[in-house]
Chains A and B, each alone.
Chain A
């Protein structure tokens, strides 16, 4: 049978895409990558979302277990996650810091004003300065930082009730108990 190699190109591309889709199915969407775990939270000096004149640094963060949550007003999934963060903030179970990523200051503030602000402090990171050091690949993403400023856990994606109850809260409770 006569055929050309060029004719196979669409098939090859499709099979590669299909393999990637299939692999995607087998992965747990919220798998934990390990490269930043047990490393100190990267050095940073960035402005507070609400106070453009005040600079936040690592010193502001240490001393207690903190949940650092990466979000942005452009991030659709963050809308879904937000009520859970509000609930956590109301219950006072953990200190939540926000990183407003790749955002505009006004948009970020508006987004929070419309929905409520669950964060103790918000680091404004429009140019991905801190986010690159942290290895942030998308939003929402959350890190658990211990009292010494070490990253102890990274969660990619939305924090749901199950994720909180089964994974994040046990990690935080253990860290707090260790003191």
Chain B
């Protein structure tokens, strides 16, 4: 019963979504307040229906109702409760349901937070959000119905794959989706603004927190994914430039550019066209991400289930949504011009540059990810370009970007003076020289020292920019403290996010320069040395668990005779699939992360032991989480909320239109 109930809710949600996409749109063009108000209610009801449907599916998983096919395939009575629940979205159908749940949640939040918005803009945005809902609900009902029954009913489920019972895998998709789907807000509002023919500062200021929210969740999602791949796959890489990783990174890059351009639009009434295009791009790239993962058009280590029919469906959605939005843009682009001019040396100039570099970076990653597909389309070759391409093309763009990040925040709006940069630039040059010297002499870092120097330069530039906000040195220390408390939270967000990039850059450099690994055939009792750590193979013992056999290898790690840790590794053999997997043993730490794995071999000739020392690798994820946290801190900013008394002002024509 409960499955049918869930499905009926979904069908009702579809009907509501159809009405939500049409009626408020008509209402907005005819200035009919009642039709526009309908949109608000439809958004609430649509969310309530999908939420009920999602709860129904969760109940099916918890109750282990294996008459429902999805639960039979993906769940098992012996699963811990937490993994029964996370199993709801650990599969295609359930994850798409989670996707529309979030989509309708964001839609439902518009009327709650959008009371200050121009009524027609709000109604049109809700209608567009409704259209996206229609597309994805159709997708679910026609290609990925989670509520299909199974006959005969199996005694137990098949979903006890231990590889998939992992907290990282369980919580990575919801965050990623919150990010992906969060960009639907910028999309809907961009389309609504294009219909209105007006993209102004009020629009930008209202939308910015939603961009921040989506961006922060996406940052967390990508970070969790990277950590999971590092930890679980045990290849020792924190980023593989795998297509599935890249497609989650693309909306992040576009979203980062959007965050900065929407800031400029909100403050200075310029970059309206850019902002609209980036808003459309960020969500379109999220759709592309879904398309790639669901269709399996790119060969990847991450994609477990592929289905061309679903890919076609999402591609059609993508073409309608993005094509429609860009078509609208083409007709309205001429209205989005104007705004005050600014000199090249100014904060605006810096942010335009930031946008150009981020867009170039997005294009680079896009090309590297999809080039194989285009080649396939043209010549029929299937290739993968891999890490060498990205290291060669993406890294230099990022280095230039960091170079500008260190100074741009120091420049004034409108027209800055290069002279004001003289002192901080001299000091940062000094800092960089010292860091490079230290790196070369003590760190044996060679060229890598440049990476550390850039990180130090960025951290210094960020701190100076923050110090200037406090007027440090210009006013008394007490006044500076008062200013410290008076700073809007967005300033703290800027500080933390840019410092996060500095930490990230330093950690990536440390990994590139100092990571060490060695590989030797060891008999029990023998050892090998990596970066001053001695890895000794203590024991090898075979064993058997549920659906695999394994060789467990214990490795003692010592440094200068002092015992550090015992790493437990496993080599697993799955007889049904004739598949061998290697489970590495980890010891994570703030300074160094050690990992070891035991591969093929025998007692006579020894076992292939791989030992790795990764200094500071953990700071890669800490740096990324600093950025996510910075996004949330910025959200607390009261300036971002358009106060209600300003409603009259909001209706007044803005400079962007002039």
Chain A residues in the interface with B (C-beta under 8 A): 1-4, 6-8, 10-11, 14-15, 17-18, 20-25, 27, 29-33, 72, 74-77, 79-80, 83, 86-87, 102, 109-110, 113-116, 137-139, 141, 156-158
Contacts and interface: CB of A to CB of B under 8 A. Distances in A.
Contact of A3 (B330, B521, B608): B330
Contacts of A20: 370, 373-374, 377
B419 to A, nearest CB: 37
Interface residues of B, number: 61
A115 B582 CA distance: 8
B422 interface: no
B517 A110 contact: yes
Nearest to B520: A113
Given A83-B579, A157-B382, A1 B323 contact: no
Contacts of B599: 113-116
Interface in B497-543: 517-521
A17 B284 CA distance: 12
B319 A138 contact: no
The dominant DSSP class at the B interface is helix
B600 A116 contact: yes
Interface in B305-322: 308, 311-312, 315, 318-319, 322
Interface string B73-95: 00000000000000000000000
Given A21-B315, A25-B308, A114-B610, A137 B375 contact: yes
Contacts of B561: none
A113 B301 contact: no
Contacts of A110: 517-519, 610
Contacts of A113: 519-521, 599, 608, 610
Contacts of B327: 11
Interface in B265-323: 277, 280, 284, 288, 291, 295, 297, 299-301, 308, 311-312, 315, 318-319, 322-323
Interface stretch (B27-35, B385-393, B644-652): B385-393
B196 interface: no
Nearest to B574: A83
A137 B381 CA distance: 7
B377 A23 contact: yes
A29 B383 CA distance: 9
Contacts of B315: 18, 21-22, 25
B386 A75 contact: yes
Contacts of A18: 315, 318-319, 322-323
Interface string B318-334: 11001100110111111
Given A4-B334, A30-B382, A75-B384, A24 B299 contact: no
13 contacts: A4-B333, A4-B334, A7-B329, A14-B284, A25-B311, A25-B315, A74-B386, A79-B235, A86-B580, A115-B600, A138-B386, A139-B384, A139-B386
B631 interface: no
A31 B301 contact: no
Given A110-B610, A113-B519, A76 B242 contact: yes
A139 B379 CA distance: 17
B18 interface: no
Contacts of A102: 388
Interface in B444-476: none
A140 to B, nearest CB: 9
A3 B380 contact: no
B240 interface: yes
Interface of B: 235, 240-242, 277, 280, 284, 288, 291, 295, 297, 299-301, 308, 311-312, 315, 318-319, 322-323, 326-327, 329-334, 370, 372-377, 379-388, 517-521, 578-580, 582, 597, 599-600, 608, 610
Contact of B382 (A11, A83, A138): A138
A13 B349 CA distance: 26
A79 B301 contact: yes
Contacts of A137: 375, 381-383
B164 to A, nearest CB: 17
B511 to A, nearest CB: 15
Contacts of A80: 301
A138 to B, nearest CB: 3
A76 B384 contact: yes
B580 A21 contact: no
Contacts of B579: 83
Nearest to A11: B326
Given A24-B374, A77-B299, A86-B580, A11 B380 contact: no
B578 A87 contact: yes
Nearest to B322: A14
Contact of A10 (B329, B385, B580): B329
A8 B65 CA distance: 52
Nearest to B579: A83
Given A31-B380, A113-B519, A115-B600, 4 more contacts: A14-B326, A137-B382, A138-B384, A139-B383
Given A74-B386, A77-B384, A29 B519 contact: no
B361 to A, nearest CB: 17
Given A11-B330, A139-B384, A24 B376 contact: yes
B297 A25 contact: yes
A150 B581 CA distance: 35
B369 to A, nearest CB: 11
Q: Across chains A and B, which 5 residue pairs bring their CB atoms closest together, nearest first?
A: A138-B383, A7-B333, A23-B377, A137-B383, A11-B326
Contact of A74 (B330, B380, B388): B388
Contacts of A10: 277, 280, 326, 329-330
Contact of B381 (A3, A17, A77, A138): A138
A77 B377 contact: no
Nearest to B236: A114
Contacts of B600: 115-116
Contacts of A116: 599-600, 608
Contacts of B374: 20, 24
Contacts of B610: 110, 113-114
A39 B308 CA distance: 34
Contacts of B518: 110
A157 B299 contact: yes
Nearest to A15: B323
B332 A7 contact: yes
B373 A24 contact: yes
Contacts of A139: 383-384, 386
B453 to A, nearest CB: 26
A79 B237 CA distance: 13
A1 B332 CA distance: 10
Contact of B373 (A21, A75, A76): A21
